[in-house]
Structure 1
Amino acid sequence: MSQLADRIRVLHVDDEPAFGDLTVEFLERQDDRFVVTTMTSASETLDYLADNDVDCVVSDYDMPGKNGVELLRAVREEYPDLPFILFTGKGSEEVASEAISAGVTDYLQKSGGADQYALLANRMSNAVERHAAEREIDWHRAILRNMGEGVYVLDAEYVIRFVKFRIPELESVSEENWTGRSLSYLAETDNLSWTEVTWIQEAVDRILSGETDEVRIELEPAFPELTNVIELRLSPLELDSDEQLVLGTTRDITQRKRHERRLERFETMVEATDEAAFIVDEDRTLDYANEAALNNIGASFEAVEGRSIRSLADEYVADEGGSERFVRALERAFDADDRPDVSERVEMTLDADGRNPVFEYQLSPIVEDGAVRAVVVMSREITDRMAYERELERQNDRLEEFASVVSHDLRNPLQVARTRLALADEECDSEHLDDAVDAIDRSQALIDDLLTLAQEGEGVTDLEPVELGDVVERCWGNVETAGATLVADVDRTVSADRGRLQQLLENLFRNAVEHGPDDVTVTVGILADGFYVADDGPGIPESERETVFDAGYSTTSGTGFGLVIVETIATAHGWDVRVTESDDGGMRVELTGVEFVE
């Protein structure tokens, strides 16, 4: 917005065109400096302000769409100091309070008659003049006083003619002590090395000879102690005199150099890895990418360096919403100041050279001085894994469909056949009938085991603390144990799916009872990272222990799926299972990798 001059540009906003025209006429009569433009809505006003300079806004309150206070808030977001006067017929303490809170410059109620325009013109002039006065400051003095950089002027003889840089309590580094001295004074007082002073002298010569317009030198001054590296920028100083002078400005780049060195270390690591990787800096732009990452999108480093991550994601991510997912994951990584060890993961499909590979990205923050300075992104292609998982899902769907067919279309006829055999047994006496019943019972047991395998093969998601002793007692009661004995000392709690754990234990108990003597003893005990189920039956020959979990393995007339189900349930929990010999020479099944809950 402009300063006060020979005209004051006023933007008047009122939804009544007739009142607007009347206001323009009266205001321009009051002061010939007023150049008044009228608008009838808030949206028109904001569009006008975006393209034109205005010295003051005068607005009605009651308008369709945004009212005057809502317009004021919108103006304050873009032009916080622009004079804004609310000139309204709706006068109330509530409106006035709301306007003041929103930052109104002045508030004036419409009263009727020509006097109100004289008052409005006076309020406008005062507001614009006050705004202009507040901006009338000595910019040069203010900049020098507030700027964080050091400012120096050197002449052709390397004499320091002007200094704006002071370090309290260090006399040798004060402005007064430096002004008028030769540049060599800085080396004599150990503020700079002689080599650094020579660099500056050579730069002054190059600039004054016209060889270059700018030289940048990185220096490591002795003071202040917290500053390790500063950048000195030298350029010609143009003055209305024949004297040749060089202007020097310095800024502390210690943090930047530390960050660069840290990034360089990560760049070396990124370049050395076989996986695709790239680095995103604090501005959310691509700082570095290794060859593998560039190959993934078929681009050169020159084509992507310095580009915003959002623009790159929008260009190369193929799946809907993938770009936004990645940007959100990146923001979470940059917000991880208090949890730098936590990595974000996101999967995306890329559009690269006509193909759509799927990648998994891991975003890890680089934390320096308690803040995230960059994020390293590692990626690996999972297209084949995703295809395998989809195929596995289709196979599982077919397996579930098969299990449903087995359950309905096989069980029912078998049940009918068994019922018919029971009726036949009542009418005639034949040894063949008992054999037929046994065959049907075996078929139904086989169906039950197959259905269990189909259902238990899925991964475990509903883990809960389970009292192992309680579930052992319950499972033993669910199995026909005849003269068998249970010995269990398992006062521990495990993290497991209760239903599947029960299925596992019942299968182990049933296996021990069916393959052991009538008075078999089954023992359940605790291991360092799991538990075991052992018996004193005949055991499993060592040569066959590797095959006991194969489908169909049985030493009797069983289905051969009992231990297969045990292994399937254990694997679904992430447990390891193995068969060995018990202390009594029987079979011992050990389950390890179990998580105990304290």
Structure 2
Amino acid sequence: MDDIIRILHVDDEPDFAEMVATFVEREDDRFEIETVTSVSEGLDRLASDNFDCVVSDYDMPEQDGIEFLGAVRERHTDLPFILYTGKGSEEVASDAISAGVTEYMQKESGTGQYPVLANRIKKAVDRREAERERTRQLEAIERAQEGISILDNDHHYIYVNQRFADLHGHDPSEMIGEHWELAYPDEDISEVKQEILPAVEQEGYWHGETTSIRSDGSTVVVDHTLATTERGELVCTVRDVSDRKQREQELRRKTSRLEALFENSPDMINLHDADGNILSPNPRLCERTGYDASELAGMKVWELDQSIDHSEAHALWNQIDVGERHRLEGAYQRRDGSYFPVEIHISSFRLEGEDRFVAFARDITKRKQREHQLRQYKDLLESINDAVFVVDQNQRVVYANEQSLANVGLTAQEIDSEPIMPLVEQYSDTRSGVVEFKQALRTALNDCEDENPGPVELTVTAGESASVYEHRFSPVSTRPKFGDEDVSKAVAIVARDVTAQKERINALKQIETLFKNAQDMLFIIEHSDDEFVIKRVNHAFESATGLSNDDIRGKTPQELFGETRGQDIVHKYRQCLETGQSLSYEETLAEEQVPNKGSPVDDGLVYWRTHITPVEMDGDVDWIVGATRDINQQKRREQELKRRNERLDEFTSVISHELRNPLNVVDGKLELARDDCESDHLADATEAVGRCQALIDDLLTLAREDSHIEQTTTVALADIAEQSWQFPTTKPADLKIETQQHIQADSNRLQQLFENLYRNAVEHGGEDVTITVGDLSDEDGFYFADDGPGIHKTERTAVFEAGYSTREKGTGFGLRIVKQIANAHMWEVALTESKDGGARFEITGVEHITS
């Protein structure tokens, strides 16, 4: 019972469904088919029982097959679903694929379709079970703590789990298809090739430590295992051991590194214990304090730094965990009794079970002096949000606030005491602006009592961004002091970023130009006191409505368009403001409502589409901008297309569904009848059914295929001719291909052209006909010739007409389809006599591709 494959078949034609069950169950003893005639019955059976596959028709009265597929996918995401339909089209196939169909198969004539259907059912069920098993295996591998990958025979990754990818800093998808060298530093690749891989080939296994490289260039040491599979694939398992290796290496280097740092550091360093005893001072500490090492080694730390007492020091040390750093400021005492300020960083560590502390100290005398200087200007500059420079009489920068530094990406140290003009020349984009800036600075420095010069605009480039700054110059009236030197003259330069203001002005100018010259009807609406009034319209609006700005400014929609239409428009405006979302709507107007209506649609109406968008002004969303477009031409095209599609859908529905299903049932019944008895009448009936099926196929081809091809590709003419030769009726005939040219064509349509020409040649020339496909010598194109009886010159034009046939049993559409496909490619097709007296079709106007 475990081998039974349960199939649910949904088709609103009971006779045809019974026929399908009979023939399909013959193909495999495991098949057990249950048939229902509606989508609702199918959903009920799926809810109450388990099935391995669903086969469904498309065109059914309650719901179509695509809707049924959507309902099935909501509950059964991986259940195989085969859409088996008589109403085949590219649109249906596309919708089925988008909805997640497993297979799409069109009902054909004859019983040869049922083995194909049975085979597709079996493959879909087998594929589902295989995917489930593979998913279970991959989930187990993905949950593994080790990094796992598999390489093919050429040593390219064909599988990488998440842990392996994370270890190398990649996504799994980035590593698939890459060579193993991606994961190794360049200097290690030769070792892998010469030692590791040969060992794996000889022993089938290798284990050791290697260094892997990550995507950011860093490396990681891994415990690495390699093993080969029966198929020659290579399975790699890795575990990160870089932390352990790094700790071992760091431990070996630590002593020498610390010793060099201790002896040569520009900072003052001392080691002390938990009681405050200085154990070891470095040379820099001795030099700066005037003590020798033996004197410092006999002191307590609070004797050196008398800004703290011993109780505060102990409290501080108790707060510091091993490896943690604590910062403080103090004052070291020199041997001569003088002091100097220091910045100290203290860290703790354990040495042979004892707490030890290391203190790094740096002389911050100059920094303290600078901080004192800056505090003199702090109160003056705290309230200024713009960039501020203070320049002395030598045009050197003596102060710059944080905003000014952020503008050009510099630090205070980089511009301290630097001339300002080289900075201006470096970051300014315009020479004329630099000249104006220099002149204004000179004026401010030389004559502080006159009116302040400026403003001067400069375009400043910092990195990839450019900003416009307006500079104003103000002489400093007091006598500032910087360090130990008085500055007799100084100028404060205030730079304000006016980029946004400039951009807004430019944007407004651009918007104004677009507003005036737009082809669409544009308008601006203001919402005030719960009313919507028109503020402005463009020239296109005035032209279309016959109303000027003076006529409509300040008017409500009700005053302009009447109460009914006005209320409807106001409702849309209100909805736009309340939701804060753009809104589009269409209006159908009578001709008399639009003075300059252009060309109305056939029904005498004018169609407009309007798009409105809310705009925030001064923090409130009380404005609406709108655009209206005349869509009369679009409506005419839509109406004509709708009428045409309705006629085409009605035609193809009748041909595809209403005729094909009964013919399939008749064809199947005839085969069952031939199993029970022998009769020439049954053979004649089968032949008639086949002719009807062929007629339906040709009619559907003519009806569904487009008369224009949107996209073509480069195809080999010989390949298409060979592929088209595979259908059964061509097997006894002989084909000669004498072309190597490549052309621009739709490969599917071109194959259909060849298939119809082959069928025509076999039907008229017999099974021993010889067909030749070759190049035209005098112009771009190719020919198709046979050695059959040929077509009389009086009939050579008529054979391309729909329904015309020189054979009693022909459909009369084959050559019509050939001409339709040629015309769709913008080709010409002509019929002449071949050199053997048969038919020769010449296709010209073909775009030949030279390699």
TM class by smaller structure: 0.3 to 0.5
When Rg is computed on C-alpha atoms for both structures, the one with the higher figure is 2
In proportion to residue count, which structure has more strand? 2
User: What TM-score does the superposition give when structure 2 sets the normalisation length?
Assistant: 0.29
User: What TM-score does the superposition give when structure 1 sets the normalisation length?
Assistant: 0.40
